[in-house]
Amino acid sequence: MPGPWTMPAVQISDHPRYAYRGVMLDIARHYQTPEAVMRLIDQAAAYKINVFHLHLSDDQGFRLAINGFPNLTQIGGQGSVGTDGRTMDPGGFWTQAQFREVVADAQAHFMTLVPEVDSPGHNNAIIMSEYGDTANPRCSTAIRRTSTAAPTTRRCGTTARTSATAPCVLRARTPGRS
């Protein structure tokens, strides 16, 4: 329809119905690169999503490098649940700089990024990574646990490891107690 044409004056009121409009991505079980996550953030922004929940750790993998704990990513970052008929996909992890870049990208799209690190449950990747890590600086101030139970074999990624118990448990502080 070639013009000229006219349109009556209108007022458009466009706002989301719900204050919390979120999406969750589990890169702990199904590793994704920061670039793939930023593409998803861009797509989610078109639907006015304002909260991006990012699942960073689970039994299958630990995805964020933490200073002082290199085994979390060197060992715990190896696993990933298989897709498309595979029993396991390659794992991976993000550096802190990559994580900050994704957070900034989410903020640029008016999204709050909510990182999730599962603890105390669903933490086999953490336990397998840090078991026997005598260089763990936090173990010197931790309560050491001992166990008389027979050792058990657990799998983390493709590596079988034997453990009776975690080497240390961090002391939880309760307000008003030392």
* Average confidence (pLDDT) over 141-160: 34
State residue 106's pLDDT score. 98
pTM: 0.66
Per the omega criterion (within 30 degrees of 0), is the bond before 34 cis?
no
Is 69's pLDDT higher than 70?
yes
State residue 92's pLDDT score. 93
Is 136's pLDDT higher than 50?
no
State residue 119's pLDDT score. 79
Q: In sequence order, what E strands does the chain have?
A: 22-26, 51-58, 61-62, 112-117, 143-144, 152-156, 159-163, 168-169
* Average confidence (pLDDT) over 61-89: 88
| Tokens matching residue 148 | 């008389």
- Residue 165 and residue 154 in contact, taking contact as beta carbons nearer than 8 Å: no
Is 159's pLDDT higher than 90?
no
Residue 116 bridge partners (DSSP): 55
Question: pLDDT tens-digit profile of 92-111?
Answer: 999 999 999 999 999 999 99
For residues 96 and 64, give the distance between their C-alpha atoms in angstroms, rounded to a whole number: 7
Q: Could you tell me what percent of the chain has a pLDDT over 70? A: 74
Question: pLDDT tens-digit profile of 16-25?
Answer: 889 999 999 9
User: What does pLDDT average to over the chain?
Assistant: 76
* Average confidence (pLDDT) over 73-77: 89
What are the distances in angstroms from CA 22 to CA 44, 46, 66, 177? 9, 13, 26, 38
CA neighbor of 117 nearest in space, from 47, 36, 51, 26: 26
CATH class of 22-169: alpha beta
> In this predicted model, which residue has the larger pLDDT, 35 or 80?
35
- For the chain, domain boundaries: 22-169
* Average confidence (pLDDT) over 73-96: 87
- Residue 71 and residue 39 in contact, taking contact as beta carbons nearer than 8 Å: no
